[in-house]
């Protein structure tokens, strides 16, 4: 069984103190940093771009788990790779040619992730599962932090886990959206091994990041 990892979303961090917030995550035992990139087009919100990632990367050796919610995504892959993304996750709907986008990410020696929105069926990525490193299952509709967890996506994780075992595949299963101390347990039980959490990591227990990360893993 893969080790459970926590990828805190900096969308919930104090943006005026981002460098310090990443240090707090590092000291608190986070496994990687989750960066939500939104373009106001593919999803109804705007966040950060490559220059911010590049600046933050100078302050840490932690892996940057970069989720691109932008369309068309293909032409921006090189900018995020150059900025320091270690994992680049894209949506199948955001590229005209998923094969060539996967290949492009690999050319930069980065890990490849594919993200599925709550309504997106697993069938769309079945033929790619032996070519990628990670599947990100969204448990909210992407675009905003602080949304309520959608338990119906757990069936998708269970099915994905079954495919992984039956075909002896090695990708990570990540879940993002409304993850808290209660539903983290059922997500792990369903088969997720990387949990993205923003509000719970940064705001629970008076902002005790180490305690919150430990509770999410347990």
Q: Which of 36, 39, 65, 172 is catalytic?
A: 36
Catalytic residue among 39, 65, 172, 176: 176
What angle, rounded to 10 degrees, do the helices at 154-166 and 183-190 form? Answer: 30
Sheet holding 194-197, edge to edge: 5-8, 194-197, 172-176, 134-138, 111-116, 87-90, 63-69, 32-38
130 is a catalytic site residue: no
Name the CA radius of gyration of the chain, rounded: 16
Q: Is 31 annotated in the active site?
A: no
| Tokens 């993002």, residue located | 176
How far apart, in Å, are the Cα atoms of 188 and each of 78, 123, 128, 166? 33, 22, 23, 19
Q: CB neighbours (10 Å) of residue 204?
A: 17
**Rounded to whole angstroms, how far apart are CA atoms 204 and 202?**
6
Given a contact cutoff of 8 angstroms between Cβ atoms, the answer to whether 13 and 35 are in contact is no
3-state secondary structure of 25: helix
Q: Where in the sequence numbering do the catalytic residues fall? A: 36, 176
């Amino acid at each position: 069984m893969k080790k459970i990892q926590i990828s805190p979303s900096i969308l919930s961090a104090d943006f005026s103190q981002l460098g310090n917030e990443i240090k707090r995550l590092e000291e608190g035992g986070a496994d990687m940093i989750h960066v939500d990139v939104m373009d106001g087009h593919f999803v109804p919100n705007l966040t950060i771009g490559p220059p911010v990632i590049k600046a933050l990367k100078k302050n840490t050796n932690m892996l940057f788990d970069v989720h691109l919610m932008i369309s068309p995504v293909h032409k921006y892959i090189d900018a995020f790779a150059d900025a320091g993304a270690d994992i680049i996750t894209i949506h199948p709907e955001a590229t005209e040619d998923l094969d060539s986008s996967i290949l492009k990410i690999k050319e930069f020696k980065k890990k490849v992730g594919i993200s599925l929105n709550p309504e997106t069926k697993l069938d769309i990525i079945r033929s790619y599962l032996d070519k990628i490193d990670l599947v990100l299952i969204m448990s909210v509709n992407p675009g905003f932090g602080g949304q309520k967890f959608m338990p119906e996506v757990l069936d998708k994780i269970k099915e994905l886990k079954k495919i992984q075992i039956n075909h002896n595949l090695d990708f990570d299963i990540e879940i993002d959206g409304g993850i808290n101390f209660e539903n983290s347990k059922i997500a792990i039980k369903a088969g997720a091994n990387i949990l993205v959490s923003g509000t719970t990591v940064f705001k629970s227990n008076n902002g005790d990041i180490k305690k919150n990360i430990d509770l999410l893993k347990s």
